[in-house]
Amino acid sequence: MTISTTVNGKAVTLNAEPDSPLLWAIREELGLTGTKFGCGIAACGACTVHVNGEPARSCSLPVSEVAGKSITTIEGIKGADGTLHAVQKAWIAAQVPQCGYCQSGQIMAAVALIEKTGKPSDDQIDEAMTNICRCGTYPRIRKAIHAATGQAATAVEGAA
C-alpha cells in the first residue's frame, strides 16, 4: 500500500504495509536514522517524532494513521539555513548527551513541550519528559529545557 505524507516539509510516498509502524518507514525507507528504535512498545520514547506538531512514539504508530499528515523528525528541526534549533543549542551548551542514543527522542519531546507551554515549569517537564535515558542525563535535560526557554536553572545547580 502507498501512503502519502509530508516528512520534514517534503511530500513523500511510503510503500509500507498499513499496520507497519511509522518508525521503520522513516528509518528504512526514507533512511532518516536519527529517529531511534529502543523498545518497540511505546515505553522509551527513543522513536519520538512530531505528527502535526504533537509528539508521537513512531514505533507504535501504524503508517496508515499518518496519511495526509505532517511529520517532523530530528533531521527536520534545524532552521532552513542549517542553524540549530534553540533546544539543540541548549543541549550542546549543557553537554547533555552521553551515549546519545535517546537524545533525538528527548529533543523532539522537549521541542514539542516548549512549543506547547512556552516556559515549562518543573512539574510540566516531569509530566511531559517521560522518555527513558539509561545514561541518566535527566538533570541536564531539565537544565537545557530551562535554558532554552530563558529560565534560570536554579533547581539543577548540581548539573554543571
Partner 1 sequence: MADNPTLEMEQPAPAKRKGVKRRAFLIGGVAIVGAGLFGISIMDSNAVKTAAKLTAGKGEHSFATWLKIAEDNVITIYSPHTDIGQGSNTGLAQMLAEELDANWDLVKLVSAPAESAFANVGLGRGFLGEMTGQPGIINGVPQSFLSFIARQMNLQITGGSSALRFTGQVTFQKVGAATRLALIETAAKRLGVPAAELTTQDSHVIHAKSSRSLPYGKLAAEAATLSLNNEPKLKDPKNYRLMRQSVPRLDIPAKVDGTAQYGMDFSVPDMRVATIMAAPARGGKLTSVDEAPALAVKGVEKVIKLDDAVAVVAKGYWAAISGLRAMTPQFTDGGNGGISTASIFKAYDDLIAKGDPAGEAGEGDVKAAMGPKPVEAKYQVPFLHHAMMEPFALTAHYKDGKLDIWGGMQDPLASKMMAVDVSGLDSDKVTFHPMLIGGSFGRRLPMYMEIVSQVTKLAMQLPYPVKLIWSREEEIAQGAYRPQSAAVLKANVTANKRIAAFSNDYAQTESAEAETTFIYNLPAVARRNYEHKSNQITGAWRSVNSTQQGFYNESFMDELAHAAGVDPVEFRRNHLKADSRHLRVLDECARLANWKAPLPEGVGRGVAIVESFKTIVAHVIEASVKEDGMPKVHKITTVVDAGSIVNPDAAKAQIEGGTIMGLSSAIGEAVTLEKGAVQQSNFSDYPLLKLADAPLVHDIHFINSGAYMGGIGEPGVPPAAPALANALFAATGKRVRNLPILTQAKA
Q: Per CB under 6 A, does 92 bind ligand FES?
A: no
Q: Per CB under 8 A, does 111 bind partner 1?
A: no
- Piece in contact with partner 1 (CB under 8 A), picked from 50-58, 64-72, 92-100, 112-120: 92-100
Q: Which residue in 15, 48, 51 sits closest to 30, CA to CA?
A: 15
DSSP string, 60-72: GSBGGGGTT-EEE
The binding track of 113-142 with respect to partner 1, each residue x by CB under 8 A or -, is ---------x--xxx-xxxxxxxxxxxxxx
φ/ψ (deg, to 5) at 50: -105, 135
Task: Give the position of cell 535535560.
Answer: 141
Q: Residue 123 Cβ, how far from ligand FES at the closest point, in Å?
A: 22
The binding track of 27-66 with respect to partner 1, each residue x by CB under 8 A or -, is xxx-xxxxxxxxxxx-xx-x--------------------
Residues with Cβ within 8 Å of residue 104, at least 6 apart in sequence: 34, 35, 36, 46, 48, 73, 74
Q: Which is nearer to ligand FES, 12 or 43 (CB)?
A: 43
Cα(50)–Cα(57) distance, integer angstroms? 9
Cα(51)–Cα(61) distance, integer angstroms? 10
Q: Which does 159 bind (CB under 5 to 8 A by kind): partner 1, ligand FES, none?
A: partner 1
- Piece in contact with partner 1 (CB under 8 A), picked from 50-58, 71-79, 112-120: 71-79
Q: Which does 150 bind (CB under 5 to 8 A by kind): partner 1, ligand FES, none?
A: none
Q: Are strands 48-51 and 54-57 parallel, antiparallel or unpaired?
A: antiparallel
Binding test (CB under 6 A) with ligand FES, winner from 70, 98, 124, 149:
98
Q: Per CB under 6 A, does 59 bind ligand FES?
A: yes
